[in-house]
């Protein structure tokens, strides 16, 4: 093998070792760290992330990449790895130390201000901080550069290759089709779900969640589930991928769909090639594709009737008092209630995308200088009225609900919707290519689906961009129709439309 390429690999693996060490510290912080440990843990994490930055912007790496990018002896996979790192290296190099520090300080201040403002329902005190951060982020767009729209520079951080022009079309489709469909559902009688909020023994819930993970094919020799206040997935390499979940004694929904959701993320990470550790070919493609894996399992599988035809009897056995007189169909209806609400994270599978649509439109307006920060609450509330038909009672339950903007994470929200839309498109193809998939799911056999995901998505790491992969799998680029078709078929049945 090429000596330069070997040096490049060594350099990247070292950076990953440090970065994944930081990830272990973060996992510990969210699961087992005693409270007083927090202060010095933050300092230890800052040191590690400084080391990652230092090693990634090392001139020696730059020279190596400049030589490798012209090296015609590289294999296709090797070349793609070099290309990704080359791009990221020169992106990082565009940031001056001063700018990085200013952003980092401003994020920290904005986060504090947001935290207080949310408690006090006081957007005004928060607005100047957000305004300052937004100004810096706009500066960052200019720094990074873009072809057509400054927002594309933001998007590219989370969804490499994504363009706002394409997202506009996508979200116009959401507006044109999904808003109307949800209005039809609203006219129908609501399904019953009170039994989901009875008392459920926590240990039994926990055991059931482990059962679901095993059934999905999650490898407990290469991962584990713990509890944390917000469920998440993290990985330190493809052989150590961990999930967390939370148990609510009075809401069966929480553990079930958070476990399946995080399980979906984790199956992706466990399926990435361990031999490519530290290289782009061993990494996930984008947040949108990552989310496609969690949502495919959570919604397309985990909220399907076929899945519960097999699993509901097991659940019923655990909780005969609450579920003894219910059927898989009752359960299916209860887990798929469509109802507009204020809070994104509590939204159902359909109205969820209105929350994202609103954030996307607002972010675009901010980056196009068509909207000032102090006008945000008014526009937010107007859009919630328009798309969801609800009156936002206050900013805490409105524009202040999410942390993302206070982290400077503009361009992040759209990846949530992209995840669902990719999932629908992938499931469409999977259903065509796996014989009798639904029958297999009804028999509790999820392995053919996992195998399909492994072969078609996981094994490639970042060798394809999201759109390239989508084309390769389904024969076309991302197309909202797949989601709409899925939604119509499922919810027309559920609501007798």
Kindly state the smallest distance separating residue 271's Cβ from its own copies, in Å.
14
Does position 13 interact with its own copies (CB under 8 A)? The reply is yes
- For its own copies, give the closer residue by CB, 21 or 318: 21
* Cα–Cα distance, 116 to 110 (Å, whole number): 10
Catalytic residue among 78, 262, 291, 349: 262
Binding residue (CB under 8 A) for its own copies from 224, 397, 407, 442? 224
- For its own copies, give the closer residue by CB, 43 or 72: 43
Nearest to 18 by CA among 40, 49, 46, 44: 49
* Cα–Cα distance, 85 to 79 (Å, whole number): 10
Kindly state the smallest distance separating residue 454's Cβ from its own copies, in Å.
16
Does position 14 interact with its own copies (CB under 8 A)? The reply is yes
Beta bridge partners of 243: 225, 233
Does position 226 interact with its own copies (CB under 8 A)? The reply is yes
- For its own copies, give the closer residue by CB, 101 or 476: 101
Nearest to 109 by CA among 403, 409, 407, 413: 407
* Cα–Cα distance, 494 to 497 (Å, whole number): 8
* Cα–Cα distance, 107 to 50 (Å, whole number): 17
Does position 60 interact with its own copies (CB under 8 A)? The reply is no
Does position 53 interact with its own copies (CB under 8 A)? The reply is no
Helix (H, G, I), strand (E, B) or coil at 235: strand
Nearest to 129 by CA among 105, 95, 96, 154: 105
* Cα–Cα distance, 9 to 41 (Å, whole number): 29
Kindly state the smallest distance separating residue 17's Cβ from its own copies, in Å.
4
Does position 229 interact with its own copies (CB under 8 A)? The reply is no
Helix (H) or strand (E) holding 399: none
- Restricted to residues 202-221, the positions that interact with its own copies (CB under 8 A) are 219-221
Total number of residues that touch its own copies (CB under 8 A): 38
Kindly state the smallest distance separating residue 54's Cβ from its own copies, in Å.
10
How far is C-alpha 25 from the geometric centre of its chain's CA atoms?
21
Binding residue (CB under 8 A) for its own copies from 61, 114, 118, 223? 223
Does position 228 interact with its own copies (CB under 8 A)? The reply is no
**489 labelled catalytic:** no
Binding residue (CB under 8 A) for its own copies from 17, 251, 283, 330? 17
Helix (H, G, I), strand (E, B) or coil at 128: helix
Does position 37 interact with its own copies (CB under 8 A)? The reply is yes
Binding residue (CB under 8 A) for its own copies from 151, 277, 319, 486? 277
Contact 362, 405 (CB under 8 A): no
Does position 262 interact with its own copies (CB under 8 A)? The reply is no
Helix (H, G, I), strand (E, B) or coil at 237: strand
Kindly state the smallest distance separating residue 446's Cβ from its own copies, in Å.
21
Q: What are the residues whose beta carbons fall under 8 Å from the beta carbon of 13, sequence distance 6 or more?
A: 277, 278, 279
What is the chain's Cα-based Rg? 23
- For its own copies, give the closer residue by CB, 35 or 320: 35
Helix (H, G, I), strand (E, B) or coil at 211: helix
Kindly state the smallest distance separating residue 109's Cβ from its own copies, in Å.
24
Backbone angles phi, psi at 236, to 5 degrees: -115, -10
Backbone angles phi, psi at 406, to 5 degrees: -70, -20
User: Which range of residues in 84-92, 235-243, 363-371, 487-495 is near its own copies by CB under 8 A?
Assistant: 235-243
User: Which range of residues in 13-21, 198-206, 258-266, 417-425 is near its own copies by CB under 8 A?
Assistant: 13-21
- For its own copies, give the closer residue by CB, 282 or 398: 282
Does position 40 interact with its own copies (CB under 8 A)? The reply is yes
Tell me the HSE value of 7 on the side-chain side, using a 13 A CA sphere.
11
- What is the token pair recorded at 75? 């294999």
Backbone angles phi, psi at 203, to 5 degrees: -65, -40
Binding residue (CB under 8 A) for its own copies from 175, 239, 246, 442? 239
Does position 24 interact with its own copies (CB under 8 A)? The reply is yes
- What is the token pair recorded at 437? 């998939």
Tell me the HSE value of 67 on the side-chain side, using a 13 A CA sphere.
12
Helix (H) or strand (E) holding 115: helix 97-120
Binding residue (CB under 8 A) for its own copies from 152, 159, 240, 276? 240
Q: Taking CB under 8 A as the rule, which mask of x and - marks residues 351-390 in contact with its own copies?
A: ----------------------------------------
User: Which range of residues in 22-30, 114-122, 411-419, 466-474 is near its own copies by CB under 8 A?
Assistant: 22-30
Buried b (16+ CB within 10 A) or exposed e, 176-188: ebbbebbeebeee
Does position 51 interact with its own copies (CB under 8 A)? The reply is yes
Annotated catalytic residues are 262
Q: Where on the chain is the footprint of its own copies (CB under 8 A)?
A: 13-14, 17-18, 20-22, 24-25, 28, 32-37, 39-41, 43-44, 47-48, 51, 219-224, 226, 236-237, 239-240, 242, 274, 277
């Amino acid at each position: 093998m090429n000596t330069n390429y070997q040096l490049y690999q060594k350099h990247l693996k070292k950076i990953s070792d440090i970065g994944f060490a930081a990830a272990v510290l973060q996992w510990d912080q969210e699961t087992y760290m005693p409270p007083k440990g927090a202060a010095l843990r933050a300092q230890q994490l800052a040191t590690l992330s400084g080391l990652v930055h230092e090693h990634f912007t090392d001139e020696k790496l730059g020279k190596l990449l400049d030589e490798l990018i012209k090296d015609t002896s590289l294999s296709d996979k090797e070349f793609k790895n070099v290309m990704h790192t080359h791009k990221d290296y020169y992106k990082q190099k565009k940031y001056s130390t001063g700018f990085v520090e200013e952003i980092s300080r401003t994020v920290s201040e904005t986060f504090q201000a947001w935290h207080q403002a949310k408690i006090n329902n006081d957007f005004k005190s928060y607005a100047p901080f957000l305004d300052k951060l937004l100004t810096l982020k706009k500066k960052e767009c200019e720094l990074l550069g873009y072809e057509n729209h400054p927002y594309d520079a933001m998007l590219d951080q989370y969804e490499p290759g994504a363009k706002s022009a394409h997202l506009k079309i996508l979200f116009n489709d959401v507006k044109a089709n999904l808003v109307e469909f949800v209005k039809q559902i609203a006219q129908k009688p609501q399904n019953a779900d009170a039994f989901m909020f009875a008392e459920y023994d926590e240990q039994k819930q926990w055991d059931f969640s482990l059962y679901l993970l095993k059934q999905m094919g999650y490898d407990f020799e290469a991962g584990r589930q713990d509890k944390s206040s917000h469920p998440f997935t993290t990985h330190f390499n493809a052989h150590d991928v961990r999930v967390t979940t939370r148990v609510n004694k009075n809401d069966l929904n929480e553990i079930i769909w958070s476990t399946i959701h995080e399980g979906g993320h984790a199956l992706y990470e466990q399926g990435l090639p361990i031999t490519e550790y530290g290289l782009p070919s061993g990494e996930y493609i984008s947040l949108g594709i990552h989310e496609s894996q969690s949502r495919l399992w959570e919604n397309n599988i985990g909220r399907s009737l076929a899945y519960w035809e097999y699993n509901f009897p097991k659940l019923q056995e655990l909780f005969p008092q609450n579920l003894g007189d219910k059927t898989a169909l009752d359960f299916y209806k209860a887990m798929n209630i469509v109802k507009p609400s204020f809070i994104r994270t509590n939204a159902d599978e359909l109205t969820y995308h209105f929350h994202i649509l609103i954030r996307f439109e607002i972010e675009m307006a901010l980056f196009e200088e068509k909207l000032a920060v102090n006008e945000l609450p008014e526009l937010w509330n107007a859009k919630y009225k328009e798309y969801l038909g609800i009156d936002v009672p206050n900013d805490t339950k409105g524009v202040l609900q999410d942390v993302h903007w206070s982290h400077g994470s503009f361009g992040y929200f759209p990846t949530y919707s992209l995840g669902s839309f990719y999932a629908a498109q992938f499931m469409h193809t999977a259903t065509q290519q796996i014989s009798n998939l639904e029958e297999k799911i009804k028999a509790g056999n999820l392995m053919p689906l996992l195998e399909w995901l492994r072969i078609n998505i996981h094994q490639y790491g970042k060798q394809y961009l999201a759109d390239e992969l989508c084309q390769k799998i389904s024969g076309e680029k991302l197309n909202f129709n797949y989601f709409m078709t899925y939604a119509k078929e499922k919810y027309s049945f559920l609501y007798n439309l």
